[in-house]
Amino acid sequence: MRPWVEKLNKVSLLVQALVVCIGYYLIETISRHSFREAWEYMTTRPLVFLYNAGLIFTTTLIVYLVRRRVFVRTLLAIFWMTLGIINGVLLAQRVTPFTGPDLHLITDAFKIAKKYLPIPGLILAGIAFVLVILGLVWLFWKGPKFQGPLKYKYNVPLVLAGVLLFMGSTKLALEKRVLSNYFGNIAFAYEDYGYPYCLATTIFNTGISCPQDYSQEEIDRIKSTESELGETQEDSRPNIIFLQLESFFDPTEVNFLEFSEDPIPTFRKLMKEYSSGYFRVPSVGAGTANTEFETITGMSLRYFGPGEYPYKSILKETTCESAPYVLKELGYTTHAIHNNEANFYGRRTVFPNLGFDTFTSEEYMPREDEKNPLGWVEDQVLTDHILDCLESSEGPDYVYTISVQGHGAYPDEPLLEDPEIEVTGAKTDAENNKWEYYANEIHEMDKFVAQLVKALEDYDEDVVLVMYGDHLPTMGLEVEDLKNRYLFQTEYVMWDNMGLKKKDENVASYQMAAVTMDRLGIHEGNIFRYHQARRNTRNYQVDLETLQYDILYGEEYVYGGKSPYERTSMRMGIHDTEFREVRKDVSVEGSYYIIGNYFTPSSEVQINGDWVDTNYLDTNTLLITGQNLTDYDRISVVQRSNSSTRRALTKTNNRLYYAVKSENKGILSFDSEE
């Protein structure tokens, strides 16, 4: 074999490059779940394919600095193929590919692995992992070594030259728009620009870069441009409700679709009667949390890393000036509502850093049967929770509500037995089925809007309700498919019961809170005042980037060197879960009724710290089975996360159980509480 090895060593760079291209093709095949789609990507975007192969190839140049070249090549091959497999497995279960922020969740990997792989798959993965480790150990000790001289004085400069050449090609590819460093839809970006590049970008290109002229003097100059704003009106304290509607937009904007009737008659009517317009959003098809971030903070995502979710990066570490913080200083109580699980996008961790006082998630919503065919909670349940927030305090309330009913993925087979709205015009039956399902779901959301507006019309306090879609649905729309020729916008309407004058204008999501406050005579907060004073002026975007950097990553000059905003002690739910007593089910051995208030389907019982089988009967009653309670057992009711990790969100105090003889149907109750 030695003559062949010597010949291959002479052309090892070419062989290595060829193997890298084959390996990268396999990685894209795994990620896209299709040889055909990977081939189409390679042939239609050859420069992007070669760039990504070049990225992988550059990492393999390290082999020319060591003798165990076979071992290092094998190790790198396993590394890159493992990344491809991880992405492929994740994309089989979710829309978002594997990104840099997912690395922060590595400690939860084993807890959630069963969500992505069945038990046999996990066992096989474990066996494969052990075999790979054993194989690598054997290869390290017994594998072949390069026998010739390493020639560091030549190899080191050549490796460095390869790295510099790759860096130069990256800059050139960005300048020539072969690549992009802005991801409107991260899933589409991975398809367009390749997995290795996008993954590396989401890992290394995060946050806001320091502006060249950043200084105390520059921040003072920016603040001085807001001097023309008046003072906040003392008598203007209406309730403010933001309603973010999942994947909601006017589908009649799609120029090839036909509908049996208008899917959104209520929203359309409100747009004609109240302030409205197009609503520019930072993403397409996904990215709910980023539209949310912009509307809550007034900050633009364009200055962050491509595909970055601040909820998964900077906001996990620090507080941020926001509408809740600013309005709290004016006496508002601040609430968040979401009819999905609390930990999605890390909201339970992030919302206290945005100044919310309460957060009512799906785990605190009692009605479990109101779900759409895909299992998402219907938006109509939100009305009662919004009213609960308004009733929970004597002063004005800020309520940020995030809906979920319109969420995909939309089925390509007929799923609705008797759809109220029929849709035609798409190229295939599968696409028509998707659009028909979507149209009927947003039609239900439109009915919810009518229900909510009716409830607020009868409310005896001033209310402003801002409603908008967070992004277009994941339907593969192109610019030419839309009448307005723009993918990054939905529609909004600003309803009120105060008689505000109608004013139609197009607004970006990061401007919406400032526009709303301006209409109400509220001029508070550095970011919001900036938008109110500087919108549509010279250097508006440049100065906004500087201001955002100072607040989140800089010296906080705008606050005199230290942010005044502290993390809130946010409570989950408007009402505390109450646990009062236990009643034995005399008809079934080992069964007990747990009696209390504000139970939900996410309420589960712990006895002495152990989870027990719990059945939700109603908001006042849970049923546990297979138990034999004894004196001094510690019992508590826990609101448990609906996420795959099933973590405890809140729990009642432990109560010490002991039997009490009673003539009242065998009641067993407590005498003490820990």
Q: Identify the pLDDT of residue 666.
A: 47
Q: Would you state the pLDDT for residue 64?
A: 87
Number of neighbouring beta carbons within 10 Å of residue 341? 20
* pLDDT of 665 above 60: no
pLDDT of residue 107: 45
> Which amino acid makes up residue 500?
L
Going by their DSSP bridges, the two strands 489-496 and 578-584 should be labelled as unpaired
Q: Report strand pairing: 610-611 vs 603-607.
A: antiparallel
pLDDT higher than threshold 80 for residue 656: no
Higher pLDDT, 244 or 657: 244
Percent of the chain at pLDDT > 90 equals 67
**Is the pLDDT score of 221 beyond 70?**
yes
**Cα gap 525→514, rounded to integer Å:** 9
In the structure encoding, which two tokens stand for residue 502, read together? 């109608």
CA–CA dist 39, 25 (Å, integer): 8
Q: How far apart are CA 404 and CA 513, in angstroms?
A: 21
pLDDT of residue 95: 67
Q: Of the given ranges (53-57, 426-430, 567-571, 641-645), which has the lowest mean pLDDT?
A: 641-645
Sorting pLDDT into bands at 50, 70 and 90, what band is 340?
very high
Q: Domain 216-571: which topology?
A: Alkaline Phosphatase, subunit A (3.40.720)
Q: What is the pLDDT of residue 234?
A: 79
Q: Which residues contact 492 (CB under 8 A, 6 or more apart)?
A: 276, 277, 278, 279, 466, 467, 468, 469, 507, 512
How confident is the model over 547-567, as a mean pLDDT? Answer: 96
Kindly report whether the global pTM for this prediction surpasses the value 0.75: yes
Q: What is the pLDDT of residue 118?
A: 61
pLDDT at res. 189: 87
Q: Give the CA angle between residues 267, 332, 547 to the nearest 5°.
A: 85
Mean pLDDT of 452-459: 95
Q: Is residue 573 over pLDDT 80?
A: yes
pLDDT for 330 beyond 50: yes
Q: Would you tell me how many other CB atoms lie within 10 Å of the CB of residue 19? A: 15
Q: Which residue has the higher pLDDT, 669 or 527?
A: 527
- Beta strands per DSSP E along 271-376: 275-280, 333-338, 358-360
Higher pLDDT, 70 or 57: 57
Q: What is the pLDDT of residues 183-209, one digit of tens each?
A: 867 788 899 999 999 999 988 888 999
Contact indicator for 453, 465 with CB cutoff of 8 Å = yes
**83 vs 404: CA distance, rounded Å:** 31
pLDDT of 315 higher than 80 = yes
Cβ atoms within 10 Å of 589's Cβ, excluding its own: 11
Q: How confident is the model at residue 473 (pLDDT cuts 50, 70, 90)?
A: very high
Instruction: List the beta strands (DSSP E) in 299-396.
Output: 333-338, 358-360
pLDDT per residue as tens digits for the range 122-158: 677 778 778 878 877 887 787 777 767 777 888 899 8
Residues in CB range of 247: below 8 A, 6 or more apart: 406, 407, 408, 438, 442, 469, 470, 471, 472, 473, 474
* Residue located via tokens 């890390």: 346
Question: From residue 666, how far is each of 379, 585, 593 by CA, in Å?
Answer: 41, 8, 12
Q: Check residue 482 and report its DSSP letter.
A: B
Is residue 111 pLDDT above 50, yes or no?
no
Average pLDDT of the residues in 419-440: 95
- In the structure, what pLDDT confidence band is assigned to residue 106 with cuts at 50, 70 and 90? low
What is the four-CA torsion angle of 277, 282, 287, 290, rounded to 10 degrees?
-100
Helical pair 69-91 and 12-32, crossing angle rounded to 10 deg: 20
State how beta strands 621-624 and 592-597 pair: antiparallel
Q: Which of 279, 243, 269, 276 is nearest to 463 (CA)?
A: 243
* pLDDT (mean) for 583-609: 91
Decide: 490 and 477 in contact? Cβ < 8 Å: no
Rounded to whole angstroms, the Cα distance separating 44 from 39 reads 8
* pLDDT score at 510: 98
Greater confidence (563 vs 122) lies with 563
Q: Where are the domains of the chain?
A: 2-204, 216-571, 576-673
C-beta of residue 448 within 8 angstroms of C-beta of residue 245? no
Predicted local distance difference test score (pLDDT) of residue 496: 97
pLDDT (average), residues 23-50: 95
CATH fold group of domain 576-673: Immunoglobulin-like (2.60.40)
Cis, bond preceding 409 (omega within 30 deg of 0)? yes
| pLDDT tens-digit map of 353-412 | 999 999 999 999 997 678 999 999 999 999 999 999 999 999 999 999 999 999 988 998
Amino acid at 529: R
pLDDT of 483 over the 50 cut: yes
Instruction: Characterize the bridge pairing of strands 614-618 and 621-624.
Output: antiparallel
Q: Give the per-residue pLDDT at 112.
A: 47
